Amino acid sequence: MDRKVDVACIQETRWKGSGCKFCGAKGKRYKLLWMGSEERSDGVGIFLAEKWVGSVVNVLRHSKRVLILRMVLDNGLLNILTVYAPHSGKLEEKKENFGMKCSIW
């Protein structure tokens, strides 16, 4: 079944470091852009349909938990954010630090 999804944001990835690669069968491929950590936890990623890859003007890897994709569509700029905030199982200090970092950008 073809769901016609052009963008999908994912959280809690287990990939190390950052990068991008194509996934899927030819004609139905997606470019995966990700940001992870050395501990292989708490990462984020964005799957983008191949037809939109040429519209990407910038990828901001703010931290292992924040990834921003900027695209030009017609005469406008589209920002796609994927954010993975620390959950209830994390230390209170990590949650507070994450909130402080988010407020500055």
| Domains annotated on the chain, with CATH | 7-104 (3.60.10.10)
pTM: 0.76
Question: What strands lie across the sheet with 66-73, from one edge to the other?
Answer: 56-63, 66-73, 76-83
The pLDDT tens digits along the chain (105 residues) read 466 899 999 888 888 888 899 998 888 899 999 988 777 667 899 999 999 999 999 998 877 788 899 999 988 999 999 888 766 665 555 545 555 455 444
- From CA 103, how far away is CA 15, in angstroms rounded? 26
| Residue 94 host element (H or E) | helix 92-104
